[in-house]
Structure 1
Amino acid sequence: MKNHEYAIVDIETTGGNARGSRITEIAIIIHDGVTVIDRWETLVNPQQEIPLPIFALTGITNEMVADAPVFDDIAEKVHGLLSDRIFVAHNVNFDYSFLCHQLSESGFKWSARKLCTVRAARKIKPGLPSYSLGNLCRSLDISLENRHRAGGDADATAILFSQLIASDSQQVIAQMIKKTAQDQRLPPNLPPQDFEQLPAKPGVYYFYNEARKVIYVGKAINIKKRVASHFTGNSTTPQRQHFLRDIYGISFEVCATELMALLLECTEIKKLWPTYNRALKRFEAKFGLYEYEARSGYRYLAIGKVGKFQRCIESFNTIHEGINLLRSLSEQFDIDHRFCKYCLPQVFEPFHHIDSEVLPNVDQHNAQIDKAIAFLADSRSSFAILDKGRSEEERSCIWVENGRFYGMGYIPTDVAITEAGLLKEYVIPYRSNQYIMQLIGNFAKKFPNKIITV
């Protein structure tokens, strides 16, 4: 281990993200792989107020940093101490992102190989109850003074680092600091085996937090490559920093095709509602076509906002789509315009709300409403998309029934599908929505040769 020198670093800051917050204190301990050979620390004037919660955590006040150097004044010193050394810290990406950002602002280009003592401790000292710095120090009888101050935490991390080196009979650290090592890019709390097991195949992957709750769902043509892309780069946004720190596990489900991965991702996001998924949460139809009956016995067709517990006949992204369809139905089936509403009422309308003109026969009118609804149902086709399977022994199947996504699954190649009932035995039902049907519709137009009607 004496072939390398290590810069063991701890910083205190005004907040949790490198772009909006600033360093208030820094300690750098130089370690040659055997012992500490140099040590430096200083308070830093962050040129912004220290929030009360940060003061409560660290004890660093605005008065303490008022006469301290600003980061520009110490940037050259920091750069010199870090250059050509392996960067070591507890939850290394936090400290690394701050220093990378502030050195860049001060005109210094810097990057380094990283070693996270959280990850190293998990590998070299497995089975401990917790790998936070405080709990590790208690478990390993390491003295930790001035907790949440840069000097105290850096001193404890240096002792921890020395213990890890002494216990590293399997050369774990040597593997971790290789430029090509996965540990250079994996989040601090993610077990490497979770990443190593990922296949280079299409499918859906799930990120879990410490409580094993799904916090992100993604889809990919190549699961391993896509997951790795989440961990590359040195983005300093608070969202990304929190995201990476929250990842404690990964699981996956292989899909035969990219379309199946897209559909599964969409349904899983709607079902699990993960914290860090945002885009697909917004793909919900906003308006629907509804049918209701007034106390007079007359039935209405109405366009209204989609309600959580209201089942609509059709759904639309915009109210204009709904209005156009309702006008078309009114003309095609000779439905009196007074029974077509372009805003769903909160309370069903009684008879006397209609003007005094001669009204159509109620039975004949309601029969026309039935015909319009039946027309919409008949216009929704049922079909299957048959494509390659996960192996040569199966085919993938996506089943659409009456214009709605019913489900998907895999059918053995030696099974002949002659009716919908048999096909349904092989597919797992999922909830449909307009976005899913858009995906399926676009695919069906592009690959009509993969569509069959049963």
Structure 2
Amino acid sequence: MLYAIVDIETTGSFASSNGITEIAIAIHDGKQVIHFYETLVNPQNPIPFFIQKLTGITNEMVAHAPSFAEVAGQVHELLQDKVFVAHNVNFDYSFLKYQMESAGYELTTRKLCTIRLARKIIPGYRSYGLGKLCHQLGINLTNHHRAGGDALATAELFSMLLEKDGEGVIAAMLKGRNSEQYLPPHVPVEEVERLPKQPGVYYFYNNTGKVVYVGKAKNLSRRVRSHFSNNKAGKQKQDFLRDIHRISYKECATDLMAHILESTEIRRLWPIYNRCQRGYLPKFGLFVYEDRQGYKRFAIEKNKHYFKPIHTFNTLIEGHNRLREMIGEFGLCARLCNLAKSADCSKGVFADSCTGECSALLHMDEYNNRVDKAVNWLQMQLPTFAFIDKGIAEDEQSCILVRKGNFYGMGYLKDGVLPDDLDQLQEQLEPMPDNDFIRNLVYKHAVNYPEKCVNF
């Protein structure tokens, strides 16, 4: 078996918008390097100054070097039918795959990462970065951050790993579609292998232990692995993969509970790679305010970040219908509810319910008392119910509680017994923050699965 030990230098950290400035390939036969290839490459765009300082490769050095398209055929021949080996293999592989495809070639070789191999075969070192690991192992590394020097040092490291691999780690990694070769270099494979095939929430941590991403899954094992199976060349994906050093998870009984926990954890931790939750958010709210004359007014408006509505609606029509119901029930003024533009709302569609407040025929205090009663009535209409579903264990049930229209929390009922008393039920659940996203999500499930709802 032949191995192609590769190192590249680039103009940036992701392949889709950066180029290769230098490439070195050491062909290894399992015992030693039998062929070595190295060339500068014109990246077709300027090399940033800090990269020039790091690698020593300047714009002048690559000005007359071949483009990657000019060397792609030779590189393809060197890599074909060999195992692609590199220190943090997914970085080098993503660049070469992108550049090869741009030049009309396909790269489909098997991969080995010497960082992952070293962690397994020679564990216990403080750092597995190439420079520090070579220093700890006594490997000669000259011209660090140049493709040739790094490739030859990686080849010497690989020879050492082959000699010390008494448990067949390398053979196991090459067997079939071993998922380990697709993982970010710092993620322990054990953390991925122990993920259950159950619903839940997973957490990705960076090298300082900070959570950088929270996700939910119907199948934790499959969802987490999917993050690593598509090694896209874009900056966001490459930065994301590079930042992941550890994984943890919390199992949930249902996909709904996982969705709720994910929303709660995102708002608690605000991970840098999570986007805003857009689905399930109600777009309109019922707001109450006092005008300059002292009259309390209702208004249906788009939800605002800094003002909490007394009730929310998915559509404007839904909000207007509820407000019309309150106008008829409590004798409110349609104009003061912002549903009639005319100065006299005693005509038209509100004629039957109008009591003339807009003509000052009703005292302000009396009218405001009606508004207060309408608010109390609306809040009394808000539902209190438990959404019951299967638990994690066979002898329990999951419970999600909505109290007076607000999400209260969730948990598990031992022996599947639902208390008749609401206070007793709350004692068995974990209180959690309420937000529009969760509330609307639970309401949607309650409508779709009414048989799982128990009203209080």
TM-score, length of structure 1 as denominator length:
0.89
* 1:90 to partner: Cα distance: 1.0
**Aligned pair 1:34/2:31, yes or no?**
yes
TM-fit CA distance, 1:147: 1.8
Alpha-carbon spacing, 1:358–1:415, altered in 2? closer, same or farther (3 Å) = closer
Question: How far apart, in 2, do the equivalents of 1:276 and 1:41 lie?
Answer: 37
CA distance in 2, matches of 1:261, 1:169: 42
Q: Which of the numbers 409, 425, 428 marks the counterpart of 1:426?
A: 428
Pick from 110, 115, 118: which aligns with 2:115? Answer: 118
d(CA) in 1 for partners of 2:76 and 2:151?
Answer: 17
Q: Distance in 1 between matches of 2:246 and 2:416?
A: 38
- Aligned residue in 1 for 2:352: none
Deviation for aligned residue 1:282: 7.5
* Superposed displacement of residue 207, structure 1: 1.3
- 8 Å CA contact 1:270–1:281 kept in 2: the answer is no
Distance 1:184 1:399, change over 3 A: same
Picking from 384, 392, 396, the partner of 1:394 is 396
Equivalent of 1:155 in 141, 152, 155: 152
1:375 to 357, 377, 390: 377
Alignment RMSD? 2.5
Deviations 1:257-284 (A, max 9, x none): 1111121122222222222221526765
Distance 1:328 1:50, change over 3 A: farther
Residue in 1 that maps onto 2:9: 12
Decide whether aligned partners of structure 1 residues 309 and 104 sit closer, same or farther in structure 2, where only a CA change above 3 A counts.
Answer: closer
CA distance in 1, matches of 2:131, 2:315: 54
Give SS of 2:383's match: coil
What is the CA-CA distance between 1:21 and the residue it aligns to?
1.1
Letter matched to residue 35 of structure 2:
D
Say which SS state the counterpart of residue 236 (structure 2) adopts: helix
Written as runs of structure 1 = structure 2, the 5 A alignment for 1:358-369 is 358=360, 360-369=362-371
Q: Decide whether the 8 Å contact of 2:282 with 2:440 is kept in 1.
A: no
1:63-142 equivalences in 2 (<5 Å) = 63-142=60-139
| Counterpart residue number, 2:201 | 204
Instruction: Give CA-to-partner distance per residue, 1:426-445, whole Å, 9 cap, x none.
Output: 21112222222222222122
Q: Which residue of structure 1 aligns with residue 221 of structure 2?
A: 224
Q: Which moved more, 1:435-444 or 1:287-296?
A: 287-296
Alignment partner of 1:56 is 2:56:
no
Provide the C-alpha distance between the structure 2 equivalents of 1:356 and 1:380, rounded to a whole number of angstroms: 29
Q: Distance in 1 between matches of 2:388 and 2:201?
A: 20
Gaps of 5+ in 2: 340-356
- Cα distance, 1:330 vs. partner? 4.3
Q: 1:291 is matched with which residue: 288, 292, 308?
A: 288
Amino acid of the residue matched to residue 400 of structure 1? V
Q: Is residue 440 of structure 2 the alignment partner of residue 438 of structure 1?
A: yes
Q: 1:54 to 1:323 in 2, by over 3 A?
A: farther
**Counterpart in 1 of 2:344?**
none
Moved more, 139-148 or 333-342: 333-342
Aligned length: 439
Match of residue 410 from structure 2: 408
Call closer, same or farther: CA 1:399–1:198 in 2, change over 3 Å.
Answer: same
Within a 5 Å distance, the mapping from 1:153-302 to structure 2 comes to 153-280=150-277, 288-293=285-290, 298-302=295-299
TM superposition shift of 1:185: 1.7
Mark the CA change 1:40 to 1:414 in structure 2 (over 3 Å): closer, same or farther: closer
How far apart in 2 are the matches of 1:125 and 1:317?
58
1:370 Cα offset (Å): 0.9
Note closer, same or farther for the CA distance 1:377–1:392 as it changes in structure 2 (3 Å cut). same
Cα separation, partners in 2 of 1:294 and 1:233, compared to 1, 3 Å: closer
Cα distance change, pair 213–285 in 1 and its aligned pair in 2 (3 A) = farther
CA contact 2:279–2:437 (8 Å) conserved in 1: no
- Report the AA paired with residue 151 of structure 1: G
Encode CA deviations 1:1-33: one digit per residue, 9 max, x unaligned.
xxx211110101111211111111100011112
Q: Deviations over 1:36-65 (max 9, x none)?
A: 111110001111222223222222122111
* 8 Å Cα contact 1:269-1:280 kept in structure 2: no
Task: Please tell me the residue identity of whatever aligns with 1:114.
Answer: K
2:454 partner letter: I
Check the 8 A contact 1:291/1:301 in 2, yes or no: yes
Q: Return the offset for 1:229.
A: 1.4
Q: Deviations over 1:120-152 (max 9, x none)?
A: 111122222222112212222222222211111
Q: Distance in 2 between matches of 1:60 and 1:281?
A: 45
Asked whether the 8 Å contact 2:333–2:358 carries over to 1, the reply is no
Partner residue of 2:353? none
Q: Structure 1 unaligned runs (5+)?
A: 343-354
Distance in 2 (CA, whole Å) between partners of 1:45 and 1:288 is 58
Contact 1:243-1:276 at 8 Å conserved across structures:
yes
Instruction: Tell me how far apart the structure 1 counterparts of residues 179 and 213 of structure 2 sit (CA, whole Å).
Output: 21
Code of the aligned partner of 1:219: K
Deviation at 1:311, TM superposition (A): 3.5
Letter in 2 for 1:451: C
Q: Structure 1: which amino acid aligns with 2:231? A: N
Deviation at 1:169, TM superposition (A): 2.4
Give, in whole Å, the separation in 1 of the partners of 2:145 and 2:385.
Answer: 62
Aligned partners of 1:273 and 1:281 also within 8 Å:
no
One-letter amino acid of the structure 2 residue matched with residue 112 of structure 1: T
Distance 1:79 1:431, change over 3 A: same
Secondary structure, aligned partner of 2:15: coil
Percent identity over paired residues: 51
Distance 1:66 1:323, change over 3 A: farther
Which stretch shows the higher mean deviation, 27-36 or 412-421?
Answer: 412-421
Residue by residue over 1:194-227, the C-alpha shift from the partner in whole angstroms, topping out at 9 and shown as x without a partner, is 0111011111111111112112222222111111
Q: Distance in 1 between matches of 2:315 and 2:60?
A: 56
Letter in 2 for 1:13: T
